[in-house]
Structure 1
């Protein structure tokens, strides 16, 4: 499947259409519906939903997603320490997963912790709309 962002790669950042994404309740694992309609988020709130979904989806596992979508974090389970070169490698994989989105200009990891099979991440996303912080467990 082709990356839908490829058609936007040559569009200047200030001319990109407004980013939109359906609201998703990650605790209930379902889309948010109000008055019988899916809730649509825009700009940074939409980008945070997209980023969360990209990070919890293992890359190359699902044929429904383009090859650039998702993260390759499973092989770090049980091997990553909270500091050192392995943490830098986790950051590189996270950054690679998120920077396929042309609305995201930069990614800064504010914190990475691992508890058994769960990574707790604090990520700053520098987007065309400004900075926003995403807290996520993957």
Structure 2
């Protein structure tokens, strides 16, 4: 005898369908230069801010974030690595940092410019709603 009724049809994996619901992206605006919050943003602007913040945040360093949030790009910035390694690793690291977000489908078309110990990275982001954000740029 069970304590709660069970509908076996609901447990049948063949009949199960998954519906993905993407929540609102409204968040606080961050002024990265001054380290201040001001106002709110939504939609594409919120996604762009998420991308910048996720890439700038070191993965697994801050207890407030789970292990999926952040980027490991700082491990190669400022190191004496070849351009070939940068061309291979930077896109992979950025994709890992942002593609787990349910608003982002993919990142592609990476252009990397090295300026001393810094990188300027420009790429294209395709969102799950069908929009494409071209010329997304971050400096690390």
- TM-score in terms of structure 1 length: 0.78
Residue 18 of structure 2 is aligned to residue 17 of structure 1: no
Task: State the shift of 1:58 in Å.
Answer: 0.8
Partner of 1:94: 94
1:75-114 correspondence runs (5 A): 75-77=75-77, 78-82=79-83, 84-114=84-114
Partner of 1:29: 35
Relative to 1, partners in 2 of residues 1:109 and 1:58: Cα closer, same or farther, differing over 3 Å? farther
Point out where structure 1 has 5 or more consecutive residues left out of the alignment: 1-9, 33-38
Larger Rg: 2
Which digits, 9 at most, give the CA deviation of each residue in 1:68-90, with x for residues without a partner?
110001221223444x2432111
Task: State the shift of 1:103 in Å.
Answer: 0.5
The alignment covers a number of residue pairs equal to: 120
Distance 2:101 2:119 in 1: 22
Relative to 1, partners in 2 of residues 1:40 and 1:120: Cα closer, same or farther, differing over 3 Å? same
Partner of 1:66: 66
Asked if 2 retains the 8 angstrom alpha-carbon contact of 1:110 and 1:123, the reply is: yes
- The CA RMSD measured in Å over matched residues stands at 1.7
Structure 1 stretches of 4+ with a deviation exceeding 4 A read none
Asked if 2 retains the 8 angstrom alpha-carbon contact of 1:44 and 1:127, the reply is: no
1:42-61 correspondence runs (5 A): 42-61=42-61
Partner of 1:6: none
Distance 1:21 1:64 in 2: 17
Asked if 2 retains the 8 angstrom alpha-carbon contact of 1:81 and 1:114, the reply is: no
Distance 1:11 1:27 in 2: 39
Asked if 1 retains the 8 angstrom alpha-carbon contact of 2:108 and 2:125, the reply is: yes
Relative to 1, partners in 2 of residues 1:48 and 1:70: Cα closer, same or farther, differing over 3 Å? same
SS in 2 for 1:23: strand
